[in-house]
Structure formats: C-alpha cells, structure tokens
Chain A
Amino acid sequence: MSAAKRVQQWATFARTWHIFDCKWQDPYESANVIKKYLMGLHKPIYHPMNDCGDVVVCINSREIALRGDEWRKRAYFHHTGYPGGASWTLAWELHNKDPTMIIKKAVYRAMKGNLQRRHTMERLLIYPGETVPEDVLQNVTSQIRQNRLVPTRLDHIPEEVSKGYPKVMDYPEDYILK
C-alpha cells in the first residue's frame, strides 16, 4: 500500500468526537439520534461489518426532560439474581442516585441487542453537568443538534428585556391577577 492510499484509509475511518447537550431533551428521542452517531449510521461508508462508529460526549445529563408524568411512572427493573432480588426503581429515584443512568439506559435500549452493543456503548461518555475533562473536550470537533428547542425561563430573562418585549394587549386596570 502506498503512502497516499494509507493516509486516505486512515482519514476515511477516523473517529470523530461529537458533543451533545442533553439540556431539556427527551432521553428516548435523543437516544435515537445519539445511536446513529455511535454506530456510524450517519456515514456513507457504513456497513454492519466495518468499525466506523464515532464517539459521543453527552453533557448536562442532569437536566434531561421526561414526558408527561414519566418521572413518577417509569420504573427501572433490576434483579440481583438471588431469590427475591428483584427491584423496581422509579425514574426520579434513579435520576437522584445517578444523573447519567437514564440517558445511558435509553441509548443502550435504542440499539439492537447484539455482540457489538456493549463495545459501542464504550464510546458514549456522559457527564451530569457542564464540566467535561479538558483532554476529552480537546478531542471534540463536532456538535450534534438537539431535537427540541431549549426554553428560556422567564425568571432567567433580564427585566429590561422582558419589559421591552412587544405585548398583544394590556390587562384592564380592574383585572385581578391570580
């Protein structure tokens, strides 16, 4: 193999590091997006037998958003293997114990259960907050777009901005705000 062909191959199969911000994102919707990058499904060279998956770094996993009352209703099952070892943990409980667990389980569940899945999961890095180790952040050269728009809370908007925002109408003077 000549040098030109060698570096061509090296470049084609290079692993890109993507970053994904989980803030206000549904983990089950995001998992379908993250999965594609982890497995390399977004590349034209994809083939089940070639190892072309990328690395995905998830940040802000503490601030994910579940739908409806899933925080209260969704239960995560675990069995220790011993008799009576079954346990059901609610989503909010699990999230309090480990804020990275829900997104990790969502991505794991989104992929087909084959021998490759656990190796693919090794390329998923999840951080609960904004802080990412410097050497990981240096590798990141691409960002995955989120599914949902991150809403801005009213109390986070400065008062001058909210005052100057256009209004459709003013409340009547005798209107009683609850």
Chain B
Amino acid sequence: MSAKNIFLKPGFVRAPLQNGVGRYVCQLQRIVLKFCKSNGSSRGLRDYIEQDLVDFAKENPGVVVYLKPRRHRGPVVVAEYLNGDRVWMNMHNKTHSEITKWIDVLRTQQGDNSTTRLRKYQYTDHPSIQGPWTPFTFKNPALNTAELPNQAYGANDRLPMSATEQLRLMFEAQKLGKNEELKTAE
C-alpha cells in the first residue's frame, strides 16, 4: 500500500448483486462520448467513432451509447454503471488504439474501481469448512475430569529413556525370560 491509497475507501473484492451466480450482466449501462468535430485533440476519438463505434454497439446491445459533439471542448468519455458509479475519463490527444483499450477497460469493469483500496485480493463468506479453531478443538478429553495440577499431565513426556529406566526394563525382561524357561521346562 502506498501513501497514495490511504485516503481511498477500503473494500473487498465483491461481485455486485451476486453477478455470475445466476447469469452474467454487463455492468456498464451507458457510455457517453463527448468530442469536438474540428479540434485536433479529439482526433483519436473521432477515428474511434468512425471505425469502431458501430461494431461496439452491435456487440454490446445492453450498453446505451450516446454521442455528444461539442464545439471547442476536449474529448471525454463518461461511463455509467449499474451500481450508480460514473467514471469520467479525459481522452485529450489519445490515439485511436489507446481509446479502444480504455473503452474496453470501461466496458469490463464493474464500477468505479479506482476509488476503492482493496484490503485483500480475495474474499470468502465461509473462511472455514470445519468451523473456526477454538481452545476445545484439539483438547485432550481426559483433562475434563482430571484434578489439576497433576504430574501425569505436567511431566515432560518427550524425554529419551534414562539409563536407569532402561536397566530396570532389562531386569524385568530377564525375570520374565526365566519364568518362561521355567514354564517350558515344566
């Protein structure tokens, strides 16, 4: 996050009106191209209108396109979205191909994206399927009835076996072996 973004409205990645769960609706509802018929700064926009605008309108019948020639004013594209956002974009001295790309950006975005700072790049309503962790999640149920403090739960149970303990076990095993021998002898 740079300092430029700190005053932006924070938000999450969300689809408006569960768009795409049912059917996809293009969020751009109307676009207004304002240009001058004679000024050189509108050259690119005029080219776009001459060559590509009809195709754009045919491909996107859901977008209402308005043309607004204005004398001696700069070229501007205003996009209006279903959620009420309005994006104003200056097209001064922009070339035909640049304008094509910008209008494609306006067509595909869902609103005025540049005014929100994304707090995260992902969002979920269900962060956990098994349910969030709680102190009870991996708890030993025997602790419920145990009387604490209790050396059985407090002693270190990860130490390697001591020599004394090893010796004791060997002694026990020896005793068992003797008994077995005795048993087999019988």
Q: Which residues of A contact B (CB under 8 A)?
A: 8, 11-12, 14, 16, 19-21, 43-45, 59, 137, 140-150, 165-166, 168
Q: Is B130 an interface residue (CB 8 A)?
A: no
- B155 CB contacts on chain A under 8 angstroms: 145-146, 149-150
Beta-carbon contacts under 8 Å, B146-169 to A: 148-151, 153-159, 162, 167-168
- B150 CB contacts on chain A under 8 angstroms: 143
Q: Main secondary structure on chain A at its contact with chain B?
A: loop
Interface residues on B, range: 20 to 34
- A45 CB contacts on chain B under 8 angstroms: 132-133
User: Which 8 A-B pairs give the minimum distances between C-beta atoms?
Assistant: A166-B171, A11-B134, A143-B153, A143-B154, A16-B135, A19-B149, A44-B133, A21-B154
Q: Is B123 an interface residue (CB 8 A)?
A: no
Q: Is B143 an interface residue (CB 8 A)?
A: yes
- B157 CB contacts on chain A under 8 angstroms: 145
The minimal Cβ–Cβ distance linking A172 to chain B, given in whole angstroms, is 21
Is B133's CB under 8 angstroms from A43's CB?
A: yes
CB < 8 Å neighbour of A141 from B148, B167, B171: B148
Give 1 or 0 for each of B92-120: 1 = CB within 8 Å of chain A CB: 00000000000000000000000000000
- A166 CB contacts on chain B under 8 angstroms: 167-168, 171
Bound-complex Cα distance A68 to B134 (A)? 41
- B139 CB contacts on chain A under 8 angstroms: 142
Bound-complex Cα distance A150 to B150 (A)? 13
Is B156's CB under 8 angstroms from A141's CB?
A: no
Bound-complex Cα distance A19 to B151 (A)? 11
The minimal Cβ–Cβ distance linking A98 to chain B, given in whole angstroms, is 22
Is A146's CB under 8 angstroms from B156's CB?
A: yes
